[in-house]
Amino acid sequence: MPEAFAIDISQLASLAPSQWPDELISRKHLIYSSPAALAFNSPGAEGFGVKRAALTLPGSVMLLFSPGCCGRNTSALGGPDSRYGKRTFYLLLDETDIVTGRYQTKIVDACEEIAHSVSPTPQVIVLLSTCVDALLATDMERLVRLSEARTHIPCLSATMYALTREGHIPPMVGVRKSLYSLLRKAPKDPTRVNILGYFTPLASSCELYSLLHNAGYRHLQELSRMQDMDEYQNLARANFNLVLNPESRLAAQFFEQKLTIPSIELSPSFELAKIQKQYAILSQLLPEPLDDRPFFEEAQAQCAEHAKVLSHLTFAIGETSNAEPFGLALALLRMGARVAEIFAEPSEEKLALIKAIAAISPKTRLASNLSPSMLFYKPQHGEIDIAIGSDACFYHPASAHIPFCDDAKPFGYQGLLSLLRAIDQACGR
């Protein structure tokens, strides 16, 4: 019987990325997207795929135009209890529309209909294209201009062309830049900071808020907290951007080039020493130093308290959670836990983490969520105590589960403490 592909992390670490097995390189085989399949829907319909992300702008509505095969999963956003349902519109394109090019006229007409029929009047219309438009080379900038002229409402475009996932500008990178494209250059306010990275706010208990506030930054701005477009425009007045997710680097470049707002990037981590080092570096770049000692000492005490518990636990780490899977695996290993499995896609950027994991736990197995062989995955009975991430939870139904995918994003010491509390709960403590 076929088996799911997996490789020891030490073996992977010994190879150059060009030598990695084909099962770990999605462009070399058919894709079984298990995170999407486990949700019984497309990635864009659950979590923060492009469709949901495009509605982060305050007062926005979205027009998705595509053949039925691309749009059928959009209904997951529009249930009776969904706050996205009344903001999502779907224009079905048939073969004649596409072949003759009349779909472009239909898109502008649809935008006009939305502008006249939706109450209150939308503040922004997002034109969401698919792989069809990429293959047809649809001029999205022209469609945006025509739609704005017809509706007198700001419009922007985004795409969910899945085949560019490994390209120069993947969909989730492109949509982050698009969401800020309506900003206009404005005078800078030295008390304002933009936090870039996610489509929902950081957890309200995150110490980053109080640290920056105590350093004189009274206005900590996140796109997801904006109530209207006037407030949205205040993002252009920031003194600097704090980038917390690598997928926001392109958006940060836009801020720097078009709005002359510089950026500082921090790397999220669940390692106590790395969190402390990140804040030390940030402190050196700011006029006023950050005093993170109370937060560090609390996290340090909790790590010491959990050391014995973690030393008796074995984890499986998935990628559908609020944590980078290789970084989370390394953090748990360094806290004394055992990590038996990681379900994730390796990349050259993750090579340092992969080698660090291999040095501590050479027998940790890596499986690709995009490999069709995952259809044949069978867990080894009793091996995993706790699975983190909804994909790992599915693969290990008999283990304790920590989905760790709340909308509020963990960061810094708060993120580490929230992880330890989740472990306590999973252990029944």
Tens of pLDDT, residue by residue over 76-97, are 555 555 677 788 898 988 889 8
Assign 314 to helix, strand or coil: strand
Rounded to whole angstroms, how far apart are CA atoms 33 and 114?
Answer: 34
Reduced 3-state DSSP string for 243-308 = ECCHHHHHHHHHHHHHHCCCEEECCCCCCHHHHHHHHHHHHHHCCCCCCCHHHHHHHHHHHHHHHH
CA distances from 344 to 64, 77, 300 (A): 30, 26, 29
- Whether the pLDDT of residue 258 is over 50: the answer is yes
Q: Which CATH number fits domain 192-265: 3.40.50.1980, 3.20.20.100, 3.30.2400.10, 3.90.1310.10?
A: 3.40.50.1980
- Give the model's pLDDT for residue 326: 97
Q: Which CATH number fits domain 43-179: 3.90.470.20, 3.40.50.1980, 3.30.70.270, 3.30.429.10?
A: 3.40.50.1980
Mean pLDDT of the chain: 89
- Whether the pLDDT of residue 134 is over 80: the answer is no
Report the first-to-last Cα separation within the chain, whole angstroms: 40
Do 183 and 124 touch, CB atoms closer than 8 A? no
- Give the model's pLDDT for residue 43: 46
Mean pLDDT of 112-135: 90
Domain spans, the chain: 7-27+292-426, 43-179, 192-265
pLDDT band at 173 (very low <50, low <70, confident <90, very high): confident
Instruction: Look up the pTM and report it.
Output: 0.89
- Whether the pLDDT of residue 261 is over 90: the answer is yes
- Of the listed ranges 91-95, 118-122, 162-166, 176-180, the least confidently predicted one is 162-166
Rounded to whole angstroms, how far apart are CA atoms 249 and 308?
Answer: 39
CA distances from 424 to 19, 305, 310, 420 (A): 40, 11, 10, 6
Mean pLDDT of 403-427: 95
Mean pLDDT of 409-424: 97
Mean pLDDT of 359-387: 91
Mean pLDDT of 313-325: 94
- Give the model's pLDDT for residue 152: 96
- Give the model's pLDDT for residue 251: 94
- Give the model's pLDDT for residue 44: 45
pLDDT band at 45 (very low <50, low <70, confident <90, very high): very low
- Whether the pLDDT of residue 40 is over 50: the answer is no
Rounded to whole angstroms, how far apart are CA atoms 135 and 117?
Answer: 31
- Give the model's pLDDT for residue 168: 60
pLDDT band at 174 (very low <50, low <70, confident <90, very high): confident
Place of tokens 């477009």: 229
- Whether the pLDDT of residue 7 is over 90: the answer is yes
Residues 6+ positions from 376 with CB-CB distance below 8 Å: 1, 2, 3, 4
Closest of 169, 178, 153, 170 to residue 56, by C-alpha: 178
Assign 221 to helix, strand or coil: strand
Residue with more model confidence, 186 or 372: 186
- Whether the pLDDT of residue 351 is over 80: the answer is yes
- Whether the pLDDT of residue 402 is over 60: the answer is yes
- Whether the pLDDT of residue 48 is over 90: the answer is no
- Give the model's pLDDT for residue 231: 95
Of the chain, the percentage scoring pLDDT greater than 70 comes to 89
Instruction: Pull the structure tokens for residue 259.
Output: 């709005």
Residue type, 28: K
CB atoms within 10 A of CB 71: 19
Q: Does domain 7-27+292-426 have CATH number 1.20.1070?
A: no
- Whether the pLDDT of residue 278 is over 70: the answer is yes
Helices (H), 72-139: 95-100, 103-117, 131-136
Residue with more model confidence, 268 or 371: 268
Rounded to whole angstroms, how far apart are CA atoms 273 and 245?
Answer: 19
- Whether the pLDDT of residue 3 is over 60: the answer is yes
The bridge status of strand 240-243 relative to strand 219-221 is: unpaired
Place of tokens 């996140």: 222
Residue with more model confidence, 168 or 309: 309
